Amino acid sequence: MFKIVLILLTLLSLQADDINSLIQDYVKASELSNKTKNENAGNLIVYTRDDLERMQALTLKDLLKSLRYFSYSESRRAQSDLLNFDSYSNNSKGIRLYLNNHELSSPLHGSGFIYFGDMELEFIDHVEIYTGFPSFEFGVEPATVVIRLYTKDATHDEGGKVKLMGSDNSSSVLSTYYTDSFEDFNYFAYLGDYSNNRDAYDYKGGTLGRDQHRTRFYGSLANENHSVELHAVQSKNDAFMGTFENAQVKENDLEYSCISVSTHSKFLDDSLTFDFSYVNIDSVYDQNFNLPDLNITDLTANNKVKEEGLTLRLQKKWNLSDNEVTVGLQYRYKYFDITERTFNDKPLDGFTQAYDSENIFSLYLQDLYSINENNILSLSLMNQFYQRNGDVNAPNNLQLRLGYNYTVEKFSAKTTLSAQSFAAEPYTLISAGQSNVNLKSESYYSFAQELTFKSYNTINNFIFTYANLQDYPIPGRQDPNGTNIKPRNSEKSLDIITSSYEFTYYYSQKDKFEFNLNYSSSDSVYNNDPAQLVSSLLRSLNTFGKLDVLNELWVVVPAYGGDSSFDYTLGLKYRTTKDFSAQIKAVNVFDNGEKRTYIDGSTRIDTSIYDRKLWIGMEYLF
């Protein structure tokens, strides 16, 4: 019997040594190499380059659709919002989005998720998503979810790529990149044009549109220790329902342009890092509408917003025997101006914003203590000092995080306790009529437990989190009579429970099956019934010779009742040569995908988050 085993072992080892098998293993291992991922930093999800390519992920929205217990959503202005409890406002201030080492931030809204939550992924190599109140080492301010996008570069991508895609409703993607390296430096340049025509809805005799069009440039220049990046976006989209209730929308346009410059430098064997980033965002929001219930017609509103931000970050790590100590000093300057606004072409002279700039000084300390090779304790402290140049609440927030990781070959347990406070973002303090200068920080006290069991071809993952939320800021709004209701901190303490079971089965090197089952329960400030949500993902990624196949089913049983949704997506990608491939992706095939419900006055409007769409396209590498 042992002879048979030995023969089998020999055959297997010979196969592993075959050069083509080695190359395949090498590609796989390079994708999963822990160059960037940090298991101590949170409950981690990684989308490798191979995942992104075989899933034909066009934008970040394609990944966030099936994120455990959160789900991509949008506000009344059709802007990205992951934690969308209330569609009037942007609730994603705890979602921190990073492009390489730099946060894509919005000085006015805090998180840049509102602008970049469904950004194109063609220039992205891989994506890491950290949930469960991740480590403080990521940012100036605390986070509930950290999304890190890593761009392609010349190290692996010397050469270029052109991608063309079109859809059945005239949506299109046209993008190209080129990267090369020289003796001491390398560069990467990407240019993309994304046009997404989406389902529109008839409402009160008007049309609620959500079409998007974006042009994006990203460029980087790097040597071994230093890099500089330029990221520029020009975007125009229909702003769906807009901000006025019971309106008959004639036209709703939201345009923004964003430019950011950032640098990253490493010194002292990479133990000391320095980051700089500057961002400038200009946006214009134009509304033209009637209020049929009040017999008022042809109203116009125009708002211009200017935002400017500067971030400096210095971080030093020391490896001291069993301790890895990290100290970080961070500074962020934010400027924002929302005073340039007109109503029926007349300036709103009476409006002054409570303040227009702030400084945030942030200091954090983290110690990773290895008790032994299987047990790691992590302790993190962070403090933010806010300076705001007006008579508004300027908090001084202390953040605490305690983690314990137990890891053996096939099992790991990750436990995290944290206490975090999120300062009210400027727009909730200064918005016209719908702001409250005394808005306090909201606080989360959380516990997260993750258990992972691995075998050679399966991963079983259980995650449970409990969070208690204090002082939740109930968004401001305008009631149907035009009266402004200020945002206020809820006096009710809210409990949020989430749990997930995730199963991955690798039945060959290029074939995997994933199954997730998620449950969440969140107390509401509006009623006594918690919002209970159940969702499930079944995804199969297969490769048959030159053909990649994606089968994905995303099922959601919505909070507060309503019909369950079944979003089935099929993707086929055929590589005719190493450099040329043709692809088809059918999204929400049965047009029964997840819905977003908007309440407008007393009317309920259900809209698709993912429209049924058929994409056809090609890619050429040169």
Partner 1 sequence: MIKLLLILLLSIVSSASDIQIEKKIYETFFAALSKKVKPSVYIDVHIPSLELDTDKFSLVSSCQKADIVIVTKKTIDAGCEKKIIFGTRYRHLKKVYVLGAFFWQKGRPNIVFKRQQLDSKKIKLPHALQEFIE
267 forms part of the interface with partner 1 (CB under 8 A): no
Residue numbers 558-587 binding partner 1 by CB under 8 A: 578-579
Closer residue to partner 1 in complex, CB, 158/322:
158
Residues 6+ apart with CB under 8 A from 583: 56, 165, 571, 572, 573, 574, 615, 616, 617, 618, 619
- Min dist. Cβ of residue 50 to partner 1 (A): 10
Length of the chain equals 622
Residue 13 near partner 1 by CB under 8 A: yes
The residue from 7, 8, 294, 329 that contacts partner 1 (CB under 8 A) is 8
4 part of the interface to partner 1, by CB under 8 A: yes
Q: Does 408 bind partner 1 (CB under 8 A)?
A: no
Residue 197 and residue 200: Cα distance in Å, rounded? 9
Smaller CB distance to partner 1: residue 348 or 621? 621
Please report, as residue ranges, which positions from 139 to 168 form the binding site for partner 1 (by CB under 8 A): 152, 155-159, 161
Q: Which stretch binds partner 1 (CB under 8 A): 11-19, 299-307, 366-374, 595-603?
A: 11-19
Q: Give the shortest CB-462-to-partner 1 separation in angstroms.
A: 21
Q: Which is nearer to partner 1, 459 or 553 (CB)?
A: 459
Q: In the complex, what is the shortest distance from the CB of residue 166 to partner 1, in angstroms, rounded to a whole number?
A: 23
Q: Is 170 in the site for partner 1 (CB under 8 A)?
A: no
Q: Are strands 159-167 and 272-291 parallel, antiparallel or unpaired?
A: unpaired
User: Cα(406)–Cα(377) distance, rounded to whole angstroms?
Assistant: 9
Q: Is residue 621 involved in binding partner 1 (CB under 8 A)?
A: yes
Identify which of residues 120 and 358 has a Cβ nearer to partner 1 in the complex. 120
What is the C-alpha separation between 329 and 273, in angstroms, rounded? 11
Site string for partner 1, 437-456 (x = CB under 8 A): ------------------xx
CB of 22 to partner 1, least distance (A): 5
State which of positions 237-266 bind partner 1 (CB under 8 A).
Answer: none
Residue among 207, 183, 189, 206 nearest 197 (CA): 207
| Site for partner 1, residues 471 to 510, rule: CB under 8 A | none
Q: In this structure, are residues 166 and 616 in contact, taking their beta carbons and an 8 Å threshold?
A: yes
Per rule CB under 8 A, count of chain residues that contact partner 1: 37
Encoded one letter per residue, x for contact with partner 1 by CB under 8 A and - for no contact, window 23-62 reads x-xxx-xx-xx---------------x-------------
Q: Is 320 in the site for partner 1 (CB under 8 A)?
A: no
Angle at 111 between CA 266 and CA 387, to 5 degrees: 80
Q: Which of 7, 9, 379, 582 binds partner 1 (CB under 8 A)?
A: 9
User: Least distance in Å: CB of 35 to partner 1?
Assistant: 9
**According to the binding rule CB under 8 A, does residue 546 interact with partner 1?**
no
Q: Does 183 bind partner 1 (CB under 8 A)?
A: yes
Amino acid, single-letter form, for residue 54: R
Query: Looking only at residues 321 through 360 of this chain, which bind partner 1 when binding is defined by CB under 8 A?
Result: none
Choice between 47 and 133, CB closer to partner 1? 47
| Ranges assigned E (strand) in 409-441 | 411-422
Rounded to whole angstroms, how far apart are CA atoms 309 and 612?
A: 38
Give Cα 210 to chain centroid, integer Å.
Answer: 20
Q: Tell me how far apart the 2 most distant CA atoms of the chain are, in Å.
A: 90
- Which range touches partner 1 (CB under 8 A), out of 5-13, 203-211, 329-337, 422-430? 5-13
Residue with tokens 């500089």: 228
Window contacting partner 1 (CB under 8 A); options: 17-25, 274-282, 427-435, 486-494: 17-25
153 or 450: whose CB is closer to partner 1?
153
- The burial of 602, by beta-carbon neighbours within 10 Å (0-12 exposed, 13-18 middle, 19 or more buried), is given as exposed
Tokens of 98: 């990073």
H runs (alpha helix) in 288-446: 426-430
CB nearer to partner 1: give 155 or 389: 155
Edge to edge, the sheet with strand 145-151 lists: 43-47, 124-131, 145-151, 95-99, 102-103
Closest CA to 207 of 161, 253, 149: 253
Position 17 contacts partner 1 (CB under 8 A)? yes
User: Is there binding between residue 268 and partner 1 (CB under 8 A)?
Assistant: no
* Shortest separation between residue 455's beta carbon and partner 1, angstroms: 7
Residue 373 as a binder of partner 1 (CB under 8 A): the answer is no
* Nearest to partner 1 of 16, 294 (CB atom): 16
> Quick one: residue 436, left, alpha or beta (phi over 0 = left, psi -120 to 50 = alpha)?
beta
d(CA 185, CA 190): 17
Tell me if 615 sits within 8 A of 58, measured CB to CB. Answer: yes
| Least CB distance to partner 1 at residue 159 (A) | 4
Nearer to partner 1, 17 or 298 (CB): 17
Q: CB of 161: closest distance to partner 1 in angstroms? A: 7
322 vs 319: CA distance, rounded Å: 8
Instruction: Please give the Cα distance from 296 to 516 (Å, whole number).
Output: 50
Contact yes or no for 397/157 (Cβ under 8 A): no
Is 458 a binding residue for partner 1 by CB under 8 A? The answer is no
443/144 Cα distance (integer angstroms): 11
Binding site for partner 1 (CB under 8 A): 1, 4-5, 8-9, 12-13, 16-19, 22-23, 25-27, 29-30, 32-33, 49, 152, 155-159, 161, 181, 183, 409, 455-457, 578-579, 621
